Amino acid sequence: MVSTTTLGGPAKDVLVAKVGTGLMLLTWTRTPLPDEELFEVLKTAIDAVPAGSKMLFNSAQFYALDLGTGNLELLARFFERYPLYADRVFLTVNGGMKNKMEPDPSPEGLRASIEKCAKALRGTKKVDLFQNARVSRLTPISEQMKVLKGFVDEGLIGNIGLSECSAATIREAVQYAPITAVEIEISPWAYEAETRNVIATCAELGIAIFAYSPLGVGFLTGELQFPLKDWRNLVIRYRDEHRDKNLKLVEALKVVAQKKGITAAQLCLAWTQALGERIIPIPCSTQTSHVLENLQSSDVKLSSDELVEIDRILAKYPVSGERFWEEHNNSLQLWG
C-alpha cells in the first residue's frame, strides 16, 4: 500500500501519494521509448495510489531536447487514450521560460507560458499547479504572484508553486499569493544549509515540498554508467575528479540499505520523506519495476538510530563538486 500525505496552501485537503513521479526523462532523451511503454509507466504509478488520492505528476513546458512541449504532448496522448485517469492525477508544471531557457516572469511571458502548456495538453487535463522553473527578478516577485493569482481566479491554473527558491523568497511570495508547494532538489547529496532553511520555512507556513532528483539523477542508486551523449555526464559531481569521492558516500548508504533489506534508492527516498510530513520526492523512471520500487519506499520507516547513522555518513563523506554543470549554474540561478 502506498502511503499518502496532503499538499499545502489552498490544496491542503488534496490527498496525494507520499512519492510522486517526475516525468522529465520520459521525453528529455535522444531515444524516447514508444508511447505504449511510457503509458504503462504512467498507468503503473497512478494505479498504485489508494482510492480517493492522486498521483503527483511533475512535468514542464520544456522537458524535451528541443526545449519544446513534448512532455506535455505525451500526457495529452495518454489522457486521450485513458481519460478516466486525468482526475486521478495532480499535474504540476514548470514554466515561465523563453525558448532558450531564459526566464520570462513578465505578465505577458507568464500568460504565454501557461497558454502554451494548455495548448499542448489539448484540453485533456488542467494544470493543477504552475510554477516558474527558476526565480527571476526581472519582474518583482510581488507582481509575479499577483499575476499568477489572477490566472488562478481565471481558472487557467489551479494552484501556484515556486521552484529552486530561497526561504526568503518564499516568505516574500506568500505576502501576495497563497503558495501550495515549493520544488527544490533534496537528496543525501543535495542537503545544503539553504535546503534546511527552505524545509523549515515550508513547515512553518504549511507549504508542501516537491523534492526533485532525490536519487541524484541515478548516482545514489549505484547505477553509474550512462550513454556517452546522456546529459547526466555533464554533471560536475559525475566527473572523474569528483566521482571516486562521491562513490564513498554511495557505498556507505548501500550498507545501511542492505542491513534494512531495502534498495539504496528506497533508502534515499525514505530519508527524504523523513525530513518532513509534506516532503514528496518525485523520482523519475522509465521502467515500471523501478516506479513500483520507488513508491514502496513510502512505507519504509527509518528508526532514529538509522537516521543518526545516515547523518554520520553524510558528515563523513561530504559531497564533492557542484550541482549541474558550469553553463547551467551560471545561467539559471539556484536558490533564487
Count Cβ atoms within 10 A of the Cβ of residue 162 and give its class: 0-12 exposed, 13-18 middle, 19 or more buried: buried
Question: How far, in Å, are 2, 218, 271 from residue 192 at the CA level?
Answer: 29, 19, 15
Count Cβ atoms within 10 A of the Cβ of residue 204 and give its class: 0-12 exposed, 13-18 middle, 19 or more buried: exposed
The H or E element spanning position 291 is helix 288-296
Given 63, 176, 191, 317, which residue is catalytic?
63
Q: Is 63 a catalytic residue?
A: yes
Backbone torsions φ then ψ of 129, nearest 5 degrees:
-150, 130
Interatomic CA distance for residues 250 and 246, integer angstroms: 7
Interatomic CA distance for residues 33 and 172, integer angstroms: 42
How many DSSP H helices and E strands does the chain contain?
12, 10
The H or E element spanning position 6 is strand 4-6
Residue 205: all three cell numbers together: 507556513
Contact 3, 18 (CB under 8 A): yes
Residue with cell string 494552484: 159
Provide the b/e sequence for 106-132 (b: ≥16 CB within 10 Å): beebbebbbebbbebbeebbebbbbbb
Catalogue the active-site residues. 63
